[in-house]
Amino acid sequence: MQEFGAKVEVTIEEELKKSYLDYAMSVIIGRALPDVRDGLKPAHRRILYAMFKEGLLWNKKYSKCAGVVGEVLKKYHPHGDAAVYDTLVRMAQDWNMRYPLIDGQGNFGSIDGDPPAAYRYTEARLARISEEMLLDLEKETVDFVPNYDGSTEEPRVLPARLPNLLVNGSAGIAVGMATNIPPHNLGEVIAGVAAVIDDPEIETKALMKLVPGPDFPTGGYIHGMAGIKEAYETGKGLIQVRGKVMVETHARTGKTSILITEIPYQLNKTRLIERIAELVRAKKLEGVSDLRDESDREGMRIVVELKKDANPAVVRNNLFKHTPLQDSFGIIMLAIVDNRPQVLPLKQMLELFVKHRKEVVTRRCLFELKKAEEREHILIGLQKALDQLDAVIALIRKSKTPPEAKDGLIKKFDFTERQALAILDMRLQRLTGLERQKILDELKEVKAEIKRLKEILGSEKKILGVVKSELLEIKQKYADPRRTEIVAREEEMTVEDLIAEEDMVVTISHSGYIKRNAVSLYRAQRRGGRGKTGMTTREEDFVEDLFIASTHSHILFFTNRGKAYCVKVHEIPQAGRAAKGKAIVNLINVDQGEQVQAILPVRAFEEGKYILMATKRGLVKKTDLMAYANIRANGLIACVIEAGDELIAARLTDGERDIILSSRNGKAVRFKESEARPMGRATRGVKGMSLGKGDELISLDVIGNGEVTLLSATERGYGKRSAVEEYPLHHRGGQGVITIKTTERNGKVAGVLQVTDEDELMLITSGGKIVRIRVKDISVLSRNTQGVRLISPEQGEKVAAVSRLAEQEEGNGENSGEHETPASDQEPAGGDAEAEEE
């Protein structure tokens, strides 16, 4: 045996390890984590027990909280008074506890974060539901352990007739672990417990029909079932919670407001309002004119008043995005099981509660059986005494002292000591006929009770039946409707959800600059008189494309290497009228040497639309528009381009149009688009036109509706227009017919365009010279002709390109207005995108 006071050498590592583990287990078991059986941490349990012992029941008068705190500190919980009072206060707050366990009177704080009054001012008593946690405590249903100084005892766990751990939830941070169990609806949880009793093999999926998810005291919404399912199956999961928001229009003023009537669990209302105000001041939340808190005793009401031009849906989405009005709740169902922390799935948690209640009911029945058998023993003695009443009375009268009488009864009538004492204590009035009958009736009842208790104890099924029936009583008494609504998970909010949808004028220059402006601003600047140009360009540049698209629309860019890129309209820089915009190559991640050949606005990706492409070597390819719905930032393959070939054009179609392909040597073929079957993206396409030696494809046109003609321009500056009807319908892959003669005078074809009389063209020479001409000034001639002079190139120059001008020249008269560009250059008739030019 080691001598007291002797030195013991230990390594510091071992001592630190042992001390830290002792401390960690003390925090885990004795402070931070709830017991799976009653769902309480030691501090909560001690407060409830102290109030129960003091007689502060729900139907008794309130008592000062200072007295409760003092009693808890004195007998059970030797920690700080602030910690005990804070714990007591939280159990009385109906925005923290789904079913408050303490009935408080006075200032117990608020959801705004206001602190409670000092404990000398507040009063409390047990809530009615708390007594269900403490019921049968005196019937040896749970173990008692000595308190911290051994002066009294406290229960190791409460009998807990209700599944408090799930019903009120729990949160706590221990050493190296944490618990975060959300509150649930009492009726739903009890239905789940009953289901586990009825069918021990029940699966989580079936349980979730009865317990669909958490039910927060503050209401709100839970979005999606995936996180709940994961938490219930594994014990851990992440759910998305949202406040309840609605849009209201004032009947008198017509002003639109967003009302917040419910907020996520444990969110401080004042901090939410302050956060909204900060966003408004920082101009991160636009469209808000006023912010008020109109909450009262009737309920919560935060009013976010909107400006006249504000979009309520966008403001609402920004509130969800930038404030805690939408938040994530991480579920960790960690609790103490047999003195060890354990993460519990839903079913196991319910099973452990059933196990606890089964033990409580068994111990209660054993206690009651013991008491009933003791009473039966005495009643049998009284009955026996009444049957021999005269002899008993005579013996008692002869006895000189009570001990002598007791011994005489035991010896002569064979009574036990307890029976003899009961006979001696019996009052004379019990000898009347009526009282004798009461003894006999009571004996009968006690025998029946003993039989009932033995039957229960002899059958596990009957014990579980008692557990279930008591739970259903609790449900009948305290269950209430669900407050938190579980709705289908919304898709993750995108940038579009935070941007108001409005039409923008997108302007693209020939040199590859792009910008956008609001339609309202653009039209206001251009209405009447001479008008103003939509983009300032260099002398050698001009606006080649101009169309209207929503901020939520997409713009597809197709390059000569067969790659597709996508940009949202709201991602295009918004620049003033005098700005030229941003270079397209800086907006998308094109590779070196890659050039944009086609730009297509797409309002929505939908079935029944196609992208039709053509390559320099005469191949065409049609792909479903839906194949381009998800384009990565670095683009994706739209068409496989072989060495020496390149993409020259792409058009958006409906699959039912006529197509015209034109070549450098003055040939054109017209065929039905349906002859080109839809293909996947990573394919090379099919032959659209058979090209002669040295020939190449230079244009792809989708025949539009209305009065359109096909304009052909040659390198030597000649050109003409031909009626579309002059181009007969052939099959795909043919050599085509002559569109313009490529004689020595004309040279090769520089460009072919589908035009209307209102269009204006820009002819660009190889020397950089630009000439602007009106389409209506160009003659309409038959196909097999040489055309007329359009431009006189300088010596050594030739026409390099022909482009349609998207804006008319300033000063063209008062009728400068908006009208559509041909359908072939944008979308088929009935398409979503509009085009605007002046």
What is the DSSP annotation of 66-130? Answer: HHHHHHHHHHT--S-HHHHHHHHHHTT-TTT-SS-SEEEES----TT-PPPPPTTT-EEEE-HHH
Confidence label for 31 from pLDDT (cuts 50, 70 and 90): confident
- In this structure, of 5-9, 40-44, 93-97, the range with the lowest mean pLDDT score is 5-9
Percent of the chain with pLDDT over 90: 45
CB atoms within 10 A of CB 384: 15
pLDDT tens per residue across span 604-619:
888 888 999 999 999 9
Three-state secondary-structure class, residue 630: coil
Give the span between the Cα atoms of 708 and 704, in whole angstroms.
7
Residue 34, judged by CB atoms within 10 A of its CB (0-12, 13-18, 19+), counts as buried
Residue 200, judged by CB atoms within 10 A of its CB (0-12, 13-18, 19+), counts as exposed
Choose between 353 and 594: higher pLDDT: 353
Three-state secondary-structure class, residue 180: strand
Confidence label for 493 from pLDDT (cuts 50, 70 and 90): low
Dig out the tokens for 573 from the structure: 């820089």
Query: What's the pLDDT at 335?
Result: 94
How high is the mean pLDDT of the chain? 85
Query: What's the pLDDT at 827?
Result: 35
Active site residue 121: yes
Mean pLDDT, rounded, for 557-580: 81
- In this structure, of 288-302, 480-494, 712-726, 766-780, the range with the lowest mean pLDDT score is 480-494
CB atoms within 10 A of CB 436: 16
Mean pLDDT, rounded, for 658-686: 90
Query: What's the pLDDT at 835?
Result: 29
Nearest to 162 by CA among 183, 126, 189: 189
pLDDT greater than 90 at residue 67: yes
The residue type at 413: F
Confidence label for 808 from pLDDT (cuts 50, 70 and 90): low
Query: What's the pLDDT at 646?
Result: 92
CB 527 within 8 A of CB 574: no
Among residues 20, 23, 121, 148, the one annotated as catalytic is 121
Mean pLDDT, rounded, for 171-179: 88
pLDDT greater than 50 at residue 814: no
Going from the N-terminus, what domains does the chain have, and what CATH number goes with each? 244-324 (3.30.1360.40), 349-478 (1.10.268.10), 501-830 (2.120.10.90)
Max avg pLDDT among 248-257, 278-287, 533-542: 278-287
Max avg pLDDT among 381-390, 467-476, 573-582, 769-778: 467-476
Burial 532-564 (b: 16+ CB within 10 A, else e): ebbbebeeebbbbbbbbbbbbbbbbbbbbbbbb
pLDDT greater than 50 at residue 536: no
Give the span between the Cα atoms of 329 and 180, in whole angstroms.
9
Query: What's the pLDDT at 369?
Result: 94
Residue whose token pair is 């009347």: 432
Give every strand in the sheet of 554-559, ordered side by side.
596-602, 554-559, 563-568, 636-637
Phi-psi region of 140 (alpha: psi -120 to 50; beta: other; left: phi over 0): left
Give the span between the Cα atoms of 767 and 268, in whole angstroms.
70
CB 227 within 8 A of CB 512: no
Query: What's the pLDDT at 772?
Result: 84
Q: How far is CA 291 from CA 247, 260, 273, 309, in A?
A: 14, 11, 8, 17
Strand 485-487 to 221-223 pairing: parallel
Confidence label for 828 from pLDDT (cuts 50, 70 and 90): very low
Q: How far is CA 460 from CA 85, 508, 677, in A?
A: 42, 81, 72
Percent of the chain with pLDDT over 70: 89
pLDDT greater than 80 at residue 525: no
Mean pLDDT, rounded, for 294-312: 88
Mean pLDDT, rounded, for 806-830: 38
Query: What's the pLDDT at 533?
Result: 45
- In this structure, of 29-33, 181-185, 398-402, the range with the lowest mean pLDDT score is 29-33
- Angle at which helices 417-425 and 402-413 cross, to 10°: 130
Nearest to 600 by CA among 640, 563, 637, 545: 545
Confidence label for 591 from pLDDT (cuts 50, 70 and 90): confident
Query: What's the pLDDT at 807?
Result: 59
pLDDT greater than 70 at residue 187: yes
**HSE, side-chain direction, 13 A CA sphere, residue 789:** 4
Query: What's the pLDDT at 605?
Result: 84
CB 834 within 8 A of CB 547: yes
Cα 520 to chain center, whole Å? 36
Phi, psi of 716 (to 5 degrees): -85, 5
Nearest to 94 by CA among 300, 361, 234, 280: 300
Mean pLDDT, rounded, for 298-315: 87
Query: What's the pLDDT at 834?
Result: 30
- Cα four-point dihedral sign 723, 724, 728, 734: positive
Residue 171: strand pairing partners:
180
Choose between 752 and 25: higher pLDDT: 752
Query: What's the pLDDT at 402?
Result: 87
Query: What's the pLDDT at 25?
Result: 76
Query: What's the pLDDT at 496?
Result: 58
pLDDT greater than 80 at residue 705: no
